[in-house]
Structure 1
Amino acid sequence: MASTVLPSTSPSTYHSDMASVVKELRPVTSISTRRYGCLPWVDAYHTTTAPGLRAHVNTKSKWLSFTHPEGQRYFQMQQARFSIVTEENVLNKDIGPSVSNWLAIIEQRIVEYGVTLPQACELFVELRFDELPHTSTCAYYFVDHHSRSLFWLEPTSSELLDMGMLVSDSHLSIALERLYWVHVEFFPMHIYAQMAPDILDNLISVISHGMIDRTTSRTSTFPYTERKCSQFLQALSLQRGKPLDGHTLCFVARLWGAINNQRFMTYYGQENAQLDRSHPTIPEDIVDRPGIRAQANLILWGIPNHYYSKLHDLFVHDQVYVDQWQAFMAACISEWREMCLWAFSVLIASILIAMLPRASVSSSMAPILAASSSILSGSTLLLRHRGFEDATASFAARFLHTAKSSDWGFLPLSVAYSMPRAMYLWSLGLMLAQFVFWVSRVIGVPWALGGACFLAMMGYGILYFTSLEDDLPDPMGGMPRRHWFTFQSSGSEEAGGIMTV
């Protein structure tokens, strides 16, 4: 979960420096808090327990304490016009007064701006302190449980809140509802009794439709696979008919947030909604260098072309489906691992040929270098992409966005992904040339040429009889090109096939 992390300070700093710092009220969203950005440092100690039953301390505070199912403690207090939630330790003698001061400032701003608050309203506050410059900040947002939306006290830019590009007011409503469900997910333990009882049944209906849609359509835009949907439905069905509790509300809100996030990205309910995941809704700024790409494909046996198209299919306007990404990376990693093993075999064979009588050591350097390049590039890619097949869609989108060059597009990444297979093919061809050269020195050039022709005909025959092309009359000049196209794309077709699962 992305978060904005600001320099932290000790609790006493809030009280001692409050008079000398600039105060700033900062609008934030439920996904830009410090919830997952703070390091979990604790002060552990030993103590001695008093004899007898330990009595719980009654602080007589207006704040109620709750524990999130993940383990995070938060506090809630009900006021006349709205409820307040915070993850700050309001029981601390320095932080508590600071929170109260900020609440007074917010109350004053409500009056100054003439904001009318809805009935089912909740305020989130989070204290931040920047050492340089000396600024005390209170990050905040309001939640309306009736409309399932977030709002603020002053005009706030959707760009500054990192909400994404919008196309209409209803599109903005989907974005705000997604942020609302994230808030409910983070603070579920005190509001589950207030939630509408139909949120569970509606969620079951949405996921059931999504599962059938993914089963019957290869290009469904629903964010979860059939298997994930089945797991979700099994867990949700166990809670159907039971009173809603905080633990159930937590994962129900998380699923609603994910669904609303996907609806936002696919322009759900808009005039031009994305109904097919392979159709981008906004034209992509494709950067192409056809001349350089043609040279790269010529040198690397045409393999970069296939990775180039697959990466473009996978990365559609910053949207990446997690099942596509995981299957694509699993296929790539499997191929790189196989190429390392095959190239190692070619490396050993080239060394053995170089050790034969009357062999030329210089002729063995080219296949050895090519095989070593295949092993090195494959091993580097395997180390660099370790765990990528289990990564999330957001991680995949960030990775592809970073890897996509502003000047070259996906060409550099396509070339890098092609290196293990391309260099293996070069090593195999150069090893055969090395062997033919050795044969020519041992039994003569005619025999060597005959052997080379035999190997070429055997390779072409295998490609011909294993080609996926229909057996239709075709000029002989076009057959080798089509058969070679089938061969060079075989390594990436598995990854390409899963793009539309």
Structure 2
Amino acid sequence: MSDSYETKSTGTLRATTSNNTGRYERTGLAELDNVHIPAACFIRSRPESANLPQHWSSQVHPEGQIYFCRQGAPRVVTEAYLHRPETLGKVTRWVQKIEEMLADQHFRMTEQVELFIKIEEDDCAYYFVDHVTHTEFWLEELNTYDLGLPPVVSLQQFSIISEELYWSHVEHFPMHFGGVSTESLDSLLCVLTHAICDQMTSKVSTFPYSKQECEGFVSLLKNSRGHATDGNITCVVGRIWSLVFRNRYLTQYGQENSRLSRDQSVLYAPETKHQWVSTLANRVSFNISERYLAQLDDVFVDHLVYSEQWKNLIAGCLKDWRASLHGAFFGLMLHVFLLSLQSCPTLAVTSALLFGASLLGSTLLMHRYGPLEGISATQAMEYLESIQSPTFKFRFVALMFALPDALRLWGMLVFFANGICMTHAYLGTAFAAGISIAALLVIFMFQWTTSERFNNALANLRSFRSQDDTYTSLV
């Protein structure tokens, strides 16, 4: 069956979802004017429903958006402005058309089923929700691509998306149907309580909100008990539940390969080669780019971004770049002493350029990424999507992050080489060679003792000695 119905007189009926109604994309502008106020006129700040057809009423969302509801089986909700006669005529015509389709297809509707319609010139978009099963559904066979929904691994996983869409509808139209049940509110409290425990006992929790944020949600919902029928509370519960089900979809909740920790990848992704690029980047950056690459990969597992981890990543990068800026500035200041000493001009200019490039790179990166520290997880995901290479992933981004510190270290090495040249000029070749060999030995020992290979070798040696001591005591 097709994903739309066409008629010559009324346009096209198409399926949509509660996340794709264009609710926050309107561009209409209000015109202010003076109004005549009758004597002794008491105006209540709520919409007027007297001039609407029978069974229709107007409601106001807690955010201020007016919408209209018709009681019946099914109930109908729409954000089309029914106080305009032409709009009311279109809504009435499309509701009748859909009711005829329901009758033709023998769909049994109750007052717990709601129909949403959106007027689009001569066309109409629609979906149904069921307040009993907490699902969203349509009259024709569709696939997720038709509805602009993400792909799923099974029909069972689609049920999670369907419930997310249902709670999104509840959030958008909370004022008319009597509120959420106490069971739904209590169940949400239990979910958030588990999330708090998970955040307290694990650094890789898959819940998208921090312990403090979850505690805020719990406090909010506990204060709402006893007011579950109020539309404002209904809106709150709907919004939080929709976020929970969105996270359940992303973590493969209830599926064979569910995500049990934030850093666990559960989606197939082809491996990238080009090992020579990684090797070259690590050599040039003293392996600093490898650290940033690991951090970027960790914050973007399966293209999923958690707000807390993103903030920690950017905060850590900004701290590193400030340290590189200060180090590069200090290195530049050291060149003042070279003016009065017999140094190698080429090396002096090279080290100064490297320090200057490090200082400039740090400044530009802080200017670029400082404002990104406070963006939302969705915005962070979209940004990382835009800068990730299909072939090299985050390899070049990591190298860019590492450049300020790498340039500073290269500047220090060239500055040290200039110092060796000055030692040769003032104290002779033998002394300069001795200083160079000693420095190389110190660098080698530092690299070796701080390397993973050295630590593994030391651990193996301790294990061997422990076994030898055990053997000697037995003898």
TM-score by length of structure 1 reads 0.81
Q: Aligned letter for 1:43?
A: E
Is 1:365 equivalent to 2:353 in the alignment?
no
Give how far 1:463 is off. Answer: 6.8
**2:152 is matched with which residue?**
166
Which range moves more in the overlay, 425-434 or 112-121?
112-121
Amino acid at match of 2:25: G
Range moving further from structure 2, 104-113 or 220-229: 104-113
Structure 1 residue aligned with 2:67: 74
- Deviation of 1:140 after TM superposition, in Å, equals 1.4
Which residue of 374, 379, 403 corresponds with 1:390? 374
- CA 1:54 to 1:309, structure 2 compared with 1: closer, same or farther past 3 Å? same
Give 5+ residue unaligned stretches, structure 2.
1-6, 461-475
Looking at structure 2, the residues matched to 340 and 467 of structure 1 have their Cα atoms a distance apart, in angstroms, of 26
Q: Which residue type is aligned with residue 388 of structure 2?
A: K
User: How much has 1:230 moved relative to structure 2?
Assistant: 1.4
Q: How far has the Cα of 1:102 moved from its partner?
A: 2.4
Quick check: 1:353–1:359 contact (8 Å CA) kept in 2? no
String of CA shifts for 1:68-102, please: whole Å, max 9, x gaps.
22222222222x32112122222123322222232
**2:328 is equivalent to residue 336 of structure 1:** no
TM-score normalized by structure 2? 0.85
Quickly say closer, same or farther: Cα 1:443–1:50, change in 2 above 3 A: farther
Aligned counterpart in structure 1 of residue 169 of structure 2, from 183, 205, 214: 183
Q: What's 1:420 paired with? A: 404
Q: Secondary structure at the match of 1:247?
A: helix
Deviation at 1:141, TM superposition (A): 0.9
Displacement of 1:183 in angstroms is 0.8
SS of 1:125's equivalent?
Answer: strand
How far is the alpha carbon of 1:151 from its aligned partner?
Answer: 0.7
Which aligned pairs between 1:292-303 and structure 2 lie closer than 5 A? 292-303=277-288
Pairing 1:265–2:250 present: yes
Q: Structure 1 residue 311: deviation in Å?
A: 2.2
Given residue 187 of structure 1, which amino acid in structure 2 is its aligned partner? F
Gaps of 5+ in 1: 1-18, 130-135, 476-501
Are the structure 2 counterparts of residues 186 and 353 from structure 1 closer, same or farther at C-alpha, using a change threshold of 3 Å? Answer: same
Partner Cα separation in structure 2 for residue 452 and residue 177 of structure 1: 69
Tell me, yes or no, if the aligned pair for 2:332 and 2:355 is still in contact at 8 Å. Answer: yes
Asked if the contact 2:179/2:230 (under 8 Å) is kept, the reply is: no
- Provide, for residues 142-190 of structure 1, a one-character-per-residue CA deviation record: whole Å limited to 9, x for no partner: 1111111111121121122232222222211111001101111111122
Give the drift of 1:457: 5.6
In 1, the alpha carbon distance for the partners of 2:348 and 2:359 equals 17
Are residues 309 and 466 of structure 1, via their aligned partners in 2, closer, same or farther at CA, if it must alter by over 3 Å? closer
- 1:432 is displaced (CA, Å) by 2.0
- Quick one: which of 155, 159, 172 aligns to 2:141? 155
- Please give the alpha-carbon distance, in whole angstroms, between the structure 2 residues aligned to 1:384 and 1:86: 43
Q: CA, structure 1 residues 451+60, in 2 after alignment: closer, same or farther (shift >3 Å)? A: same
Equivalenced residues, count? 448
State the Cα deviation string for residues 367-407 of structure 1 (Å, max 9, x = none): 12222222222222222223332222222222222222112
Residue deviations 1:441-474, cap 9 Å, x none?
Answer: 3444444444445555666677788889759649
Give the Å deviation of 1:121.
0.9
Structure 1 residue identity aligned to 2:362: G
Structure 2 letter corresponding to 1:387: P
Code of the aligned partner of 1:117: M
Match of 1:430 among 403, 411, 414: 414
- Among candidates 49, 54, 60, match of residue 51 of structure 2: 60
Residue matched to 1:305: 290
Cα RMSD for the two superposed structures: 2.8
Offset, 1:113? 3.7
2:363 aligns with 379
Residue 234 of structure 2 is matched in structure 1 by 249
Alpha-carbon distance in 1 for matches of 2:86, 2:323 = 61
User: Is residue 93 from structure 1 mapped to residue 85 from structure 2 by the alignment?
Assistant: yes
Aligned to 2:4: none
Report Cα offsets for 1:344-384 as digits up to 9, x if no partner: 2222323x144224334332221122222222222222222
- Over 3 Å counting, the alpha-carbon distance change for 1:358 and 1:200 in structure 2 is same
1:49 is the counterpart of 2:37: yes
Instruction: State the distance in 2 between where 1:455 and 1:341 align.
Output: 24
Classify 1:40/1:336 alpha carbon distance in 2 versus 1 (closer, same or farther; 3 Å).
farther
Alignment of 1:72-221 (within 5 A): 72-78=65-71, 80-129=72-121, 136-191=122-177, 193-221=178-206
Deviation, structure 1 residue 139:
1.8
In the alignment, which of 304, 307, 310 is matched to residue 325 of structure 1?
310
CA distance in 2, matches of 1:46, 1:444: 93
SS of equivalent to 1:208: helix
Deviations 1:211-266 (A, max 9, x none): 11222233332222222111111111212244531111111111111111111122
Which amino acid is the alignment partner of residue 207 of structure 1?
Answer: L
Q: What is the aligned partner in structure 1 of residue 20 from structure 2? A: 32
Amino acid at match of 1:46: N
- Identity across the alignment (%): 29
> Structure 1 counterpart of 2:94, which letter?
W
Query: What secondary structure does 2:132 align onto?
Result: coil
Letter of the structure 2 residue corresponding to residue 60 of structure 1 = N
Q: Which runs of 4+ in 1 moved over 6 A?
A: 19-22, 460-469
Q: Which amino acid aligns with 1:356?
A: S
Instruction: Write the distance in 2 (CA, Å) between the matches of 1:138 and 1:86.
Output: 11
CA distance in 2, matches of 1:251, 1:387: 29
Task: Report the secondary structure of 1:26's partner residue.
Answer: strand
